[in-house]
Amino acid sequence: MNRGNSLGQHNRAPCTLGNMARIADVNITPSDNGPYLVSGAVCLADVDGHEVPHGEYMALCRCGGSKNKPFCDGMHAAVAFDGTLKK
């Protein structure tokens, strides 16, 4: 069954925190050559829309090497991830 729309997006159950938080209350900061550091009232969901439990603060992998995706497990250091954002 194709549950996606014309934009390739899936129809997902609404996030349980979606209406409780404003994006202004959420901080997402890329760390030097490491994960995105996220804080605030965020609902994290998998590709099927199921909520992924997490703490108040979380580090999300952006190197692709974590064995605990979507969370960072420190592998970015072992793979010498270059996440340079500065020009």
Contact set with ligand FES (CB under 6 A):
34-35, 61-63, 65-66, 72-76
In the complex, least distance from residue 80 CB atom to ligand FES, rounded to whole angstroms: 11
- The three-state DSSP-derived secondary structure of the chain is CCCECCCCCECCCCCCCCCCCCHHHCEEEECCCCCEEEECCCCCECCCCCECCCCCEEEECCCCCCCCCCECCCHHHHCCCCCCCCC
Is 41 or 79 the residue whose CB approaches ligand FES more closely? 79
In the complex, least distance from residue 41 CB atom to ligand FES, rounded to whole angstroms: 23
In the complex, least distance from residue 10 CB atom to ligand FES, rounded to whole angstroms: 24
